[in-house]
């Protein structure tokens, strides 16, 4: 029950912000909005605002949507003319399909943009009021015959970068090693005031995370600790907080895209992919660690949701943006037959991904 409550809170926050991004730009450009829904299925409760929008919460909180006035896909100029016949001239200004291409694109992009802004806000507030860790990563032990030992890493080396990513905190070392997509990673260290680069090939072993979940973890055989056993956490000003927030968001985006690329190359660890069940489990677990850990997770999920929605797959925001790009190049919308073909492909991909991640989730719970 704790997992369920935490999941509902998390998914409600990120979905509401995503849909509000669409809603904000729609209202900005005068598009009528008939429904703002959190969840799908039967409405549990809701209300109508002054502009006629129905704000509602539905039975299944696994998504949401904003429905525009006269909303439907426009496959051809002929179909658009048929739609226009159904409304008077005053209502034409409220139709999404009548807006300039750039406005429609911004309305669609508004959802992912809102997710990125939410993450930036959460990270910035954490960095300003709690602080960001800047503790150097000092190697205190190197296991004999380990990948680190064979590559030449030694005790008292201070790790300054991994695969070109600057290491600004001891907390980043494990993350950078485990998110590396190549078989061998570059580790740059500071030794006797000299910067030295080593190439190390991690080994993958089955381990457990902080919550006791089984994971495949990359290790190189080192132990790290803060110099003088003191952590260096600093509270940042607004400008620096925003800078490091954007940097963290970019790291998540870059890492995700590398993982997606590794899937196509066939060398990705797809057992780590998870769906709603895994998100529910993790959200419940991090909530037990405190509100700070929970909202950090909200930020990471928000970035992931925004990025995934930008993938050029029909039914997602990125799919609509792809269609708008074709419309800009061709000077007209794609034909009905072509768009329907794309939508079938997109539906197949999303359903396949849903089944795959659900299978991973159930296997993680020991049901397979």
Query: Sign of torsion, CA 330 331 333 335?
Result: negative
340 is catalytic: no
Catalytic residue among 19, 172, 188, 248: 19
Say whether 130 sits in a helix, a strand or coil: coil
175/49 Cα distance (integer angstroms):
45
Closest CA to 278 of 351, 218, 215: 215
21/37 Cα distance (integer angstroms):
13
Residue 137 backbone dihedrals phi, psi, to 5 degrees:
-95, 100
Closest CA to 18 of 48, 49, 62: 62
294/289 Cα distance (integer angstroms):
8
**Distance (Å) of CA 288 to CA 26, 129, 135, 283:** 38, 21, 25, 9
Say whether 181 sits in a helix, a strand or coil: coil
**Residue 211 structure tokens:** 């919550």
Instruction: Please list the active-site residues.
Output: 19
């Amino acid at each position: 029950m704790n997992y369920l409550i935490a999941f509902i809170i998390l998914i409600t926050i990120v979905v509401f912000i995503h849909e509000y991004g669409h809603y904000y730009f729609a209202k900005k450009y005068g598009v009528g909005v008939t429904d703002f829904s959190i969840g799908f299925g039967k409405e549990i409760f809701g209300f109508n605002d002054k502009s006629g929008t129905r704000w509602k919460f539905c039975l299944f909180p696994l998504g949401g949507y904003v429905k525009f006035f006269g909303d439907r896909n426009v496959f051809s100029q002929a179909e658009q003319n048929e739609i226009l016949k159904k409304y008077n001239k005053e209502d034409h200004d409220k139709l999404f399909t009548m807006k300039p291409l750039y406005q429609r694109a911004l309305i669609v992009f508004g959802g992912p943009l809102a997710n990125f802004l939410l993450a930036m806000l959460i990270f910035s507030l954490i960095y300003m009021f709690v602080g960001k860790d800047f503790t150097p990563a000092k190697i205190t032990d190197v296991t004999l015959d380990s990948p680190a030992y064979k590559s030449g890493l030694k005790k008292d080396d201070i790790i300054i970068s991994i695969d070109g990513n600057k290491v600004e905190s001891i907390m980043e070392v494990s993350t950078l090693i485990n998110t590396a997509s190549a078989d061998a990673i570059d580790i740059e260290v500071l030794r006797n005031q000299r910067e030295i680069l080593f190439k190390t090939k991690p080994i993958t072993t089955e381990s457990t995370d902080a919550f006791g979940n089984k994971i495949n973890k990359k290790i190189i055989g080192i132990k790290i600790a803060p110099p003088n056993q003191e952590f260096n956490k600093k509270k940042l000003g607004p400008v620096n907080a925003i800078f490091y927030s954007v940097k963290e968001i970019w790291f998540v985006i870059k890492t995700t895209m590398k993982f997606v690329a590794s899937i196509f190359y066939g060398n990705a660890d797809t057992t780590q992919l998870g769906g709603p069940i895994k998100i529910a489990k993790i959200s419940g677990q991090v909530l037990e660690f405190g509100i700070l850990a929970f909202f950090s997770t909200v930020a990471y999920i928000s970035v992931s949701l925004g990025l995934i929605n930008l993938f050029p797959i029909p039914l997602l925001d990125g799919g609509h943006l792809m269609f708008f790009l074709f419309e800009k190049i061709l000077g007209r919308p794609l034909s009905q037959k072509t768009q329907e073909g794309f939508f079938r492909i997109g539906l197949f991909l999303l359903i396949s991904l849903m089944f795959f991640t659900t299978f991973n989730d159930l296997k993680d719970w020991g049901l397979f």
